[in-house]
């Protein structure tokens, strides 16, 4: 029998039901140009049981409060159809040196006047969520990207999308 202390758990798991400050700042819809490259993976399951993945940027995600996330998807995306059917999704991403996985309950969100993007808007509430990190390694990024030649055009589109998400979220809370 050993008198040595039990080894420390290398994996730190944090369960939450409200967005941590760093995540809320990431999804606040501001300073989009400084957040380019961030990618979140939105997972859904269609009626055939197939997992569908949509890779989303900060221009497609907006957290209007501490427990909600608004999402903009292209209507032809398989994930948009799957979410309309199941109402459930998982969002995975890296932020603040940790891996996050958030289970969301998702519902349609009405569009806003003057929005000609054709995007589908969804509103999700946190069902269960956790972050994971380890003491011996720092997560520095997840899936990342760089904007190419039309980067300014994309940033302008993201700003419009976030404004539409903000308006739709505000209308849903009335």
SS3 content of the chain, % helix, strand, coil (to 5): 25, 35, 40
For the chain, give the mean pLDDT: 90
Asked whether residue 17 carries a pLDDT value surpassing 90, the answer given is: yes
Predicted confidence (pLDDT) per residue in 41-61, tens digit: 999 998 899 998 999 999 999
Question: Would you state the pLDDT for residue 111?
Answer: 77
Q: Given 3.20.20.70, 1.10.10.10, 1.10.274.100, 2.30.110.10, which CATH number is that of 12-137+148-172?
A: 2.30.110.10
Nearest in space to 73 (alpha carbons), one of 55, 91, 96 = 55
For residue 131, give the H/E element and its range: strand 120-134
């Amino acid at each position: 029998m050993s008198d040595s202390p039990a080894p420390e758990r290398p994996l730190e798991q944090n369960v939450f039901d409200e967005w941590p400050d760093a995540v809320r700042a990431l999804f606040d819809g501001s300073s989009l140009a400084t957040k380019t490259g961030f990618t979140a993976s939105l997972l859904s399951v269609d009626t055939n049981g197939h997992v569908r993945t949509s890779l989303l940027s900060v221009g497609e995600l907006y957290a209007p409060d501490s427990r909600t996330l608004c999402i903009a998807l292209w209507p032809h995306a398989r994930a948009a159809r799957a979410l309309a059917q199941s109402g459930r999704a998982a969002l995975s991403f890296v932020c603040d040196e940790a891996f996050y996985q958030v289970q969301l309950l998702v519902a349609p969100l009405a569009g806003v006047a003057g929005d000609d993007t054709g995007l589908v808007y969804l509103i999700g509430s946190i069902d269960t969520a956790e972050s994971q990190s380890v003491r011996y390694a720092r997560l520095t990024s997840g899936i990342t990207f760089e904007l190419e030649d039309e980067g300014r055009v994309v940033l302008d589109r993201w700003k419009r999308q976030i404004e539409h998400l903000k308006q739709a979220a505000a209308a849903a809370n009335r």
